[in-house]
Structures are given as C-alpha cells and as structure tokens.
Amino acid sequence: MLIRELLINEIKNIKTKGFYRRLNENKNDDTVINLSSNDYLGLAYNSKIKRTAKQIISKYPLSSTSSPLMYGYFKPHIDLENKLCKFKGGYERCILYPSGYQANLGIISALSKISFSKTFIAFDELSHASIIDGVLCSKTKFSRFKHNDPNHLKNILKKHSSYDIKIVITEGVFSMDGDIANLPDIIDVSKCYNAITIIDDAHATGTIGSFGGGSCNYYNGVKPDIIMGTLGKALASEGAFVLSDSLMIDYFINKSRPYIFSTAISPVAAGIALEALNIIENKPELVRKLQTLSQNIRIFLKNNGLNILNSNTHIIPILIGDEKKAAAIEKKFINEGILLKSVKYPTVAKGQARLRFSVNAGLRNIEIKKVLKKLSDLNNIKK
C-alpha cells in the first residue's frame, strides 16, 4: 500500500506546481487546426504515400518480425538507408532505430564504452531529453555548454583535452526554441580538440536547407561525424536513422544495445519514409512553402508584440512564462478548435512555459488567417 500513497503524493505535488500532464485523444477531426504536429510538410496525409504503403503491406510482413540482426531487415530498410546516405549529405552508411529516443541513447552510450578509453561529453544545454538520457546512461564525465555558444564549448573542451575520446552533441534545429545550431563554429572548435561531433537533425530533416536536406544542406559543406534524425516528423513515418562512416556504423551494429535488442521498424514504416523523401526530392517547392510560411508567421507574431525567442524556423515558440497561464491559454484555444500545445517544465526550464507553434506546409489559407487572428489577441489573453 505504501507505494500507492507515495504515488498519490507525487501526482499531487506535480499538480500543485502546474506541471501535470495528461493524454488527450486526437479525434482526427478535420475541422480542428493542429499546430502541434511534427508533420511539418503535411505528408502524413499524402495519398501517394498511402498508396505506396498499401503496396508494401501486400508484399512484406506487417511487422519486421524481429530485430535487424535477427533477419528483421528487409529491402525497404536497405533502400531507405541508401537514400538517407545521399539525402543527408553523402554519408557512407546508415542504420535505422525504432525511435529517435533509442538512437540517441544507443549511440551516445555505445561511444562511451570503448575499451581502455576515457570519454568526455559536451552537449548544448537545450538538448532534447533523449540526448540527456543518453549522456546519463553512458555514466561518463560530461558538461553542458551554453546554448549555441562555441566559445563556452571551447573553454570546456580545453579543460578536458586529456580525455581519450571527446564527444560534442547538439541539435540542428532546436525542438523547443526553433533556432538553428551554429554548426560551422561548433564543428571547427570540436575539430581543434579532436572531438567527435553528433548532430540531432530530428527537426531539421525535410525542413531546412534549399532542398530540405537538414544541417548539411543548410550549411553547405559542413559535415558532422555523426548525424541522427527521426522518421516520425517531416518524413511521415516512425523510427530514426543514424549516419556516419562504415567503421562507426559497424561499431554501433555491434555495441549499441537499443539497436541490437529491439524489434526493427516495420518494412512499411521504412517504405513510407522513403516515399516521403522521394516526394521532397521531386517537389522542393513544398519545403520552400514551409520556409516562406514560417517566415511570414514569425514576422506577424513579432509585429504583434509576442516573444518568439530566437526562432528562425518552422518551430515557433510563443513565450508565456507562467506554467498555469500557458495551460489556460491552451485550453481556451482547444475550445476554439485550435490545438496549440503549451510546453512546460521539465521539457523547458521553469518559468519558461510557452506555446509551441509548429508550422505545417499543409495548412490552408483560411486556417492560417483564423489562427493569426486569435494569436494577435494573445497579449490581451495573457494578462
């Protein structure tokens, strides 16, 4: 019985602080405007991809039936890996993970367990929970560097230069702030100290760069040692990928426990992501539409006195501050048919609660108008 009492107390505490989370069914109602989806290009509803999915399902098993090393590795997986190697900037090899969370956990912890070597990790202070958990799982020495600050990173690496392996981790597009990592400087500093760079391109894939290629496409010529990304956002599927040279990927296949001990994504999930990449490649105007629409919305929100932090992408935070106020605004918007999720601690720092506006290239003009009208009134609602 004791555990029940303890749990009741924990939940009570969470509620008192305004950090309580609950599940809300997505009723798939097309009269509701969803501004919280990571389906940035609107491809999750694409009819061509749905037709491709049907063909794959008729040819392959519904599930992958096992982990990749136990023959859960089919042609759609191989085709997707090959495509990602090219699309993401010319990497030698790719592997697929069941989720981005597992990919980050898997690669970071594997790199920290190389025999007879001491590893040090530096990561951006605004990194996603899966990066933080990967670092904690690695049980190695680490430091957070100030957000997007190569000078601070440099000081940290200098102090830890005696470590055999040094790893620097950041995100291409930050999931809660919507700004883009200063990769040229971060990679330069890392190279000076012989540190391996890992970039999480979960929110950059399909969204930034001239053809939506992500970080390497946005900063033409920049090439991190390892790139990971997810299939569950702009690529309309689920799962994740990790790209690097053949040796590194071979090491992960042999040492990354979330890769080895988990069922592979289904052949249809791989086929969906591959078809999404084909569409992005053949229709770069879709990516440009997302970029232009995002820019116009950012300008509108700023002109209306809202604080969107340093967002320069399709992820636009609208800072509210107080957790309870942010939750109340979310509720008000739901009643008006708009899903605009409030994000609070521990996803972001305490007192930094915000509405996270994810722009979607599939939004119709009438929907955008309705949303912007409501948001222009937000300063009155906030009071």
Ligand X SMILES: Cc1ncc(COP(=O)(O)O)c(C=O)c1O
Sole binder of ligand X in the list 46, 119, 130, 215 (CB under 6 A): 130
> Of 173 and 375, which has the nearer Cβ to ligand X?
173
Residues in the chain: 383
- Identify residue 17 by its one-letter amino acid code: K
Cβ proximity of 226 and 107 under 8 Å: yes
Distance CA 307, CA 298 (A): 10
Under the binding rule (CB under 6 A), the answer on residue 175 touching ligand X is yes
Is the preceding omega at residue 224 within 30 degrees of 0, hence cis?
no
Assess contact for 284 and 247: CB atoms under 8 A.
no
Asked whether position 232 contacts ligand X by CB under 6 A, the answer is yes
Part in contact with ligand X (CB under 6 A); list of ranges 41-49, 188-196, 200-208, 325-333: 200-208
311 contributes a contact to ligand X by CB under 6 A = no
CB of 2 to ligand X, least distance (A): 33
- Shortest distance in whole angstroms from residue 237 CB to ligand X: 10
Any contact of residue 171 with ligand X (CB under 6 A)? yes
Binding ligand X by CB under 6 A: which of 121, 180, 202, 301?
A: 202
Q: Segment near ligand X (CB under 6 A), from 17-25, 55-63, 99-107, 373-381? A: 99-107
* Most distant pair of Cα atoms in the chain: their distance: 61
User: With respect to ligand X, which residue has the nearer C-beta, 67 or 376?
Assistant: 67
> Helices in the chain by DSSP H: which ranges?
2-17, 47-59, 75-87, 100-111, 129-138, 150-159, 183-192, 215-218, 246-255, 257-260, 267-282, 284-303, 323-335, 365-376, 378-382
Q: Residue 289 Cβ, how far from ligand X at the closest point, in Å?
A: 22
DSSP bridge partners of 119: 165
CB atoms within 10 A of CB 372: 14
Give yes or no for residue 224 binding ligand X (CB under 6 A): no
Which whole-number Å values give the CA distances from 122 to 166, 171, 181, 186, 257, in the listed order? Answer: 8, 13, 15, 11, 22
In the region spanning residues 104 to 123, those forming contacts with ligand X, defined by CB under 6 A, are: 104
Cα distance between residue 291 and residue 269, in whole Å: 26
Q: In angstroms, what is the minimal distance from the CB of 243 to ligand X?
A: 15
Measured distance CA(24)–CA(80) in Å, rounded = 32
Residue 76 or 98 having the CB closest to ligand X: 98
Q: Which is nearer to ligand X, 155 or 263 (CB)?
A: 263
- Binding track over 203-222 against ligand X, x by CB under 6 A: x-------------------
According to the binding rule CB under 6 A, does residue 128 interact with ligand X? yes
CB of 376 to ligand X, least distance (A): 28
Binding flag, residue 258, ligand X (CB under 6 A): no
* Nearest-CB residue for ligand X: 100
Q: Among 105, 240, 277, 371, which residue sits at the site for ligand X (rule: CB under 6 A)? A: 240
Residue 165, beta-bridge partner list: 119
Q: Which amino acid is present at 334?
A: I
Q: Does 243 bind ligand X (CB under 6 A)?
A: no
According to CB under 6 A, which residues from 324 to 343 bind ligand X?
Answer: none
Give CA–CA dist 308/260, Å, rounded: 41
As a dihedral over the C-alpha atoms of residue 74, residue 245, residue 69, residue 263, rounded to 10 degrees, the angle is -70
- According to CB under 6 A, which one of 39, 200, 323, 367 is a site residue for ligand X? 200
Q: How far is the CB of 267 from ligand X (least distance, A)?
A: 18
Q: Are 185 and 178 in contact (CB under 8 A)?
A: no
* Burial class for 257, CB neighbours closer than 10 Å (0-12, 13-18, 19+): middle
Closest residue by Cα to residue 87 from 248, 306, 280: 280
- How many residues touch ligand X (CB under 6 A)? 14
Is 230 near ligand X (CB under 6 A)?
yes
Q: Which one of 24-32, 95-103, 256-264, 334-342 is the stretch in contact with ligand X (CB under 6 A)?
A: 95-103
Stretch that binds ligand X, among 39-47, 94-102, 114-122, 320-328 (CB under 6 A): 94-102
Q: Which stretch binds ligand X (CB under 6 A): 48-56, 97-105, 212-220, 362-370?
A: 97-105
* Contacts to ligand X by CB under 6 A: 99-101, 104, 128, 130, 171, 175, 200, 202-203, 230, 232, 240
